[in-house]
Amino acid sequence: MMCVTNCPSVETLSQHLEADGAGEEQRQIADHVETCHTCQITLQTLLCSDTLVTSAFSTPAAAIGVGEPRIAGYEILGELGRGGMGVVYKARDLKLGRLVALKTILAGAHAGPQELQRFRTEAEAAARLQHPNIIQIHEVGTYDGRAYLALEFCPGGGLDRKLREAPLAPMEAARLVETLARAIDTAHSAGVVHRDLKPANVLFAADGTPKVADFGLAKQLDQEAGQTATGAIVGTPSYMAPEQATGKAGVVGPAVDVYALGALLYECLTGRPPFKAATPLDTLAQVLHDEPVPPRQLQSKVPRDLETITLKCLRKEAGKRYSSALELAEDLQRLQAGLPVKARPVGVLERTWRWCGRNRAVAGLLGAVAATLLIGALTASYFAIEAGKNADRLEAVLSENVAIRRRGVQTTVWFLKYLKDNPELANLSYEDLFVQFRLAHPDVTDADLIGAFVPPVADFPPVSSAGLGETFRFDARMFGS
């Protein structure tokens, strides 16, 4: 139901979250929020620091912010943090004298089905998992009708705080993610997919041992229905796998955790997640359509093999990532041992194909330009080849003509010498004279005569052989005979 009256401002709603609910104004805001879906979304956005859960908002936001709980057997020592659905307190277990992390539902007694389901999911998942690198659950209980979890306390804080100072050294990052990957593989073997791996959900024990926390969004693979509605997007956008970002619950499996481990490794190496935009929806768009900047472009000291491992985890296609978290852990172990890793970098051809898939309009335009240039180049090459052939033919013709002219000059010299040696032939007609010359020189061809007398002799007006002889003597002087 949408609001029919003016909604409180974001600042007023933010102050309402911090108030204890007392006073007439706070009650009016609470009554308004109970019937205003828009304000419920605003409150959920204010509460969700990083974790995004896009489905029905069934919890009245007015129920949030009721102060510290009083749970029998525990002494609350302070608040450790809060998220979209719960508050975590540092507490002392009065029976065993140990420190624990008490997690309660933020909405308290007004918690809706979604919050209660997430709480049960975390309790069930944690109960199924026994691993030194997974936060252990000590107790599940209720107080005043409200559920709580008593969890293993990690005084070392979260990885997110550590990364705010500076990225990790490459081998330190590889060692950390190898440890986490082995823990996640144990979860997968037990049929549990975390679905929300991120630095804030990696905590450190007093001795520095990393622990995977917060299985509130976990998916139990042996329960096919009722966990997440189709179309609901669960997780943290910067660490979501593409198939998770689409909201298709049926395709979400262990591969989403492999992707998240890669995103976590990426941030450990570079100090930033692979994708981070101004809004969660913009970040999801990057996850679906963009490729991450290679870590070595941000941190040049990252080993090339470690970059290759990271980018293999972040492949858009689940089938091209590591087949399991264990396979990722083993490749990281090989890297630390100085052995060749199994991951291989993406080739130039595949990178180009992926780029074309993401930028189809630009790729189509470039393809048209390239085709035009190719056709132009082929056309130019054709004409260049033809021009070369024509040049060769012309050179051959010229060479042939030069040869003919040289032969003609030689024939002229022979003819003049023949005429000089046979003066009695001077009174013959030039037709008879040529016949006699051809008989004396049988190797002279018609082509030689054409080369000797251009234009052809037949084109000359009839003259006496004496006159022709004068002409030949003139030609002979020209040719140095």
Instruction: Decide: helix, strand or coil at residue 237.
Output: helix
| Helix pair 254-270, 304-313: axis angle to 10 deg | 140
Cβ distance 52 to 247 under 8 Å?
no
Reading the block at residue 86, the tokens are 């719960």
- Position 420: which residue type? K
Q: Are 374 and 368 in contact (CB under 8 A)?
A: no
Note whether 314 and 262 are within 8 A (CB). yes
Asked if residue 296 lies in contact with residue 310, where contact means CB atoms within 8 angstroms, the answer is no
Rounded-to-integer distance, Cα 310 and Cα 321, Å:
10
Residue 2 has phi, psi (to 5 degrees) of -85, 155
Q: What is the residue type of 257?
A: D
List the helix and strand counts (H, then E) for the chain. 17, 11
For residue 160, what are the contacts with CB-CB under 8 A and spacing of at least 6?
198, 199, 200, 202
Annotated active-site residue 196? The verdict is yes
Q: Taking the CB of residue 34, how many other CB atoms lie within 10 A of it?
A: 15
**Residue 155 to residue 414: CA distance in whole angstroms:** 118
C-alpha distance from residue 291 to each of 111, 222, 246 (Å): 39, 33, 17
- Structure-token pair, residue 376: 């132009």
As a three-state string, the secondary structure of 448-467 is HHHHHCCCCHHHCCCCCHHH
Considering the candidates 50, 185, 196, 214, report the single residue annotated as catalytic: 196
Name the residues annotated as catalytic: 196
